[in-house]
Amino acid sequence: MEIFQIVGLALTATLVIVMVRRVQGADTALFISLVAGAIIFLLLLDRIGTVVKILADISTRAGINQFYLDTILKIIGIAYVAEFGSQVCRDAGENAIAGKVELAAKVLIMVLAIPIIVAILESIIRLLQ
């Protein structure tokens, strides 16, 4: 199971980071953390692709406009990337920057969601008329 690989990698990286932080300082530890995070992401890339393909197939069969699926996938991507970025900032001790990353993600998500919200509201208005 892949989760055992991921947790094993995470625990190994954590142990190395703790030891390196004592000897060499926070800079090297942060770099190791970034590399471990990137490797975990790469391990999941195939699964992410599978999910996107399944969702695309389902939306095509259901006759859903591809624009909406693309927008939702962009929103999910922004959320995951922002979470990763803010965690890295927090690991580096930059809580204020982490908060700004999260704020930027929320604003970008809101902007991307506007066409979907408008479409839903227009559908509701048509149903009520």
Centroid of chain to Cα 27: 24
Residue 63 dihedral angles phi and psi, to the nearest 5°: 75, 25
- Residue indicated by tokens 């693309």: 70
pLDDT of 92 strictly over 90: no
- Residue indicated by tokens 């790469």: 42
Centroid of chain to Cα 66: 21
Q: Answer yes or no: are the C-beta atoms of 71 and 113 closer than 8 Å.
A: yes
Q: Looking at residues 76-99, what average pLDDT do you find?
A: 93
pLDDT of 25 strictly over 80: no
| pLDDT band (50, 70, 90) for residue 15 | very high
Pure H helices in 24-94: 26-62, 66-91
The pTM assigned to this predicted structure is 0.80
